[in-house]
């Protein structure tokens, strides 16, 4: 059997063109986001096969992810790259004292994605086809043009530009202290785009239960695709009550960092749309476990962020999903995703279909290498 011979880890800091603000900033809980910390794992086997994996952190945690990945990497040298599930478990036990969620598994996620990328490349298949694709394109929606720091006039311009570019849905950030401003912005975008345009809103966990109740009721008239994270991410009972009461679907799950957390969310009936994030839950191996539970419960899927990875995972989900379009990560890769008629096309290149750009190398802050290049 082939064996993992060499691993290269990279900590890359991706600067954002403009500081990003959502409801968490306006409530004083977080500072505007100015950069994203990326963790890349590049694997090479004795037979010369390669795989690229990624994880990430926003605002904090990037150095910790890299440090933990550096501790775990030697565990993989000499291992059979085919044994992905076993290796995930081995890595998890290697860091068992720091837990099975959060930063601990996010470091594992970069290795896990790289192993799947390697396996798909070796089979000369796109990752979606390796997993068993249901479709060759996925409905997509744009978030990056709808943040709260964007003036209303520019918000309308951004929404129109996204639709003209071929992106299907538009997501708007809400959750401002003045709730009338939220309603005014959503009403303006609905009027500007028309009754049939898919629109979502995202409160980023900033409402309490009474406020969420009132806002969900007020948003019923706007024919939204979903209302995202109206409550704290851990308030599964509260989300379930909203999902049961209102016609507008409730979406949540992006902040959860384990299979067990998502299982609880599904068990409570707290999400009409489940929003797992593969890097946040520890990679593709746990993501597939979450997706299987969601399918069994009849829950719709809308993976969070990292469209370059999630377009493949969404394409392998039976019920028509949504993928979040963020162009923030594009400078890190030599390839681009294609969009047409409201849908994101699944790449036909083997694996993820990605290679790191010269810019990604230039933004690299730390590297670590293990094993010997074949």
320 carries a ligand binding annotation: no
CA 223/CA 225 separation, integer angstroms: 7
User: Residue 68 corresponds to which tokens in the numbers above?
Assistant: 């933990």
Buried-state track 164-203, b at ≥16 Cβ within 10 A, e below 16: eeebbbbbbbbbbeeeeebbebbebbbeebeeebbbbbbb
**Catalytic residue of the set 304, 310, 312, 325:** 304
Phi-psi domain of 253 (left: phi exceeds 0; alpha: psi -120 through 50; beta: other)? left
31 carries a ligand binding annotation: no
262 as an active site residue: the answer is no
Dihedral sign from CA coordinates of 346, 111, 321, 335:
negative
CA 195/CA 190 separation, integer angstroms: 6
35 carries a ligand binding annotation: no
> Nearest-5° angle of CA 340, CA 341, CA 347?
35
59 carries a ligand binding annotation: yes
**Catalytic residue of the set 68, 119, 173, 236:** 173
22 carries a ligand binding annotation: yes
Give the Å distances, CA to CA, from 295 to 76, 85, 266, 289: 32, 20, 10, 10
324 carries a ligand binding annotation: yes
CA 200/CA 257 separation, integer angstroms: 23
Q: Which residues have CB under 8 Å from 217's CB, separation 6+?
A: 246
173 as an active site residue: the answer is yes
DSSP letters for 72-100: HGGGGTT--TT-HHHHHHHHHHHTGGG-S
- Catalytically annotated residues: 173, 304
Specify binding-site residues for Mg(2+): 202, 228, 254
Specify binding-site residues for substrate: 22-24, 58-59, 171, 204, 324
Specify binding-site residues: 22-24, 58-59, 171, 202, 204, 228, 254, 324
């Amino acid at each position: 059997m082939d064996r993992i011979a060499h691993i290269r880890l990279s900590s890359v800091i991706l600067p954002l063109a403009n500081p990003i603000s959502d409801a968490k900033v306006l409530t004083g809980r977080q500072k505007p986001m100015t950069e994203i910390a990326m963790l890349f794992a590049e694997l090479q086997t004795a037979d010369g096969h390669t795989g690229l994996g990624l994880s990430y952190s926003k605002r904090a945690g990037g150095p910790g992810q890299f440090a933990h990945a550096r501790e775990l990497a030697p565990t993989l040298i000499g291992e059979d790259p085919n044994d992905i599930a076993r290796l995930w478990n081995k890595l998890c036990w290697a860091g068992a004292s720091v837990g099975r969620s959060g930063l601990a598994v996010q470091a594992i996620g970069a290795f896990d994605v790289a192993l799947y990328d390697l396996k798909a490349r070796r089979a000369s298949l796109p990752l979606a086809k390796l997993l068993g694709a249901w479709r060759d394109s996925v409905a997509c929606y744009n978030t990056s043009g709808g943040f709260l720091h964007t003036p209303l006039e520019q918000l309308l311009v951004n929404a129109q530009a996204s639709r003209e570019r071929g992106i299907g849905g538009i997501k708007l950030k809400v959750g401002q202290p003045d709730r009338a401003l939220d309603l005014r912005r959503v009403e303006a975008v609905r009027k500007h785009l028309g009754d049939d345009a898919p629109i979502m809103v995202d409160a980023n966990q900033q409402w309490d239960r009474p406020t969420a109740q009132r806002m969900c009721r007020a948003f019923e008239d706007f024919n939204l695709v979903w209302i995202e994270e109206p409550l704290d991410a851990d308030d599964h009972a509260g989300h379930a009550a909203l999902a049961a009461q209102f016609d507008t679907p409730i979406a949540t799950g992006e902040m959860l960092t384990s299979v067990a957390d998502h299982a609880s969310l599904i068990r409570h009936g707290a999400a009409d749309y489940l929003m797992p994030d593969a890097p946040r839950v520890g990679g593709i191996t746990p993501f597939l476990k979450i997706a299987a539970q969601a399918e069994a419960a009849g829950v719709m899927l809308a993976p969070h962020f990292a469209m370059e990875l999630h377009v493949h995972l969404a394409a392998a989900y039976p019920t028509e999903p949504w993928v979040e379009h963020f162009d923030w990560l594009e400078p890190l890769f030599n390839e681009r995703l294609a969009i047409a008629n409201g849908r994101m096309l699944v790449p036909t290149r083997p694996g993820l279909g990605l290679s790191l750009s010269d810019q990604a190398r230039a933004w690299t802050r730390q590297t670590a290498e293990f094993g010997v290049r074949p």
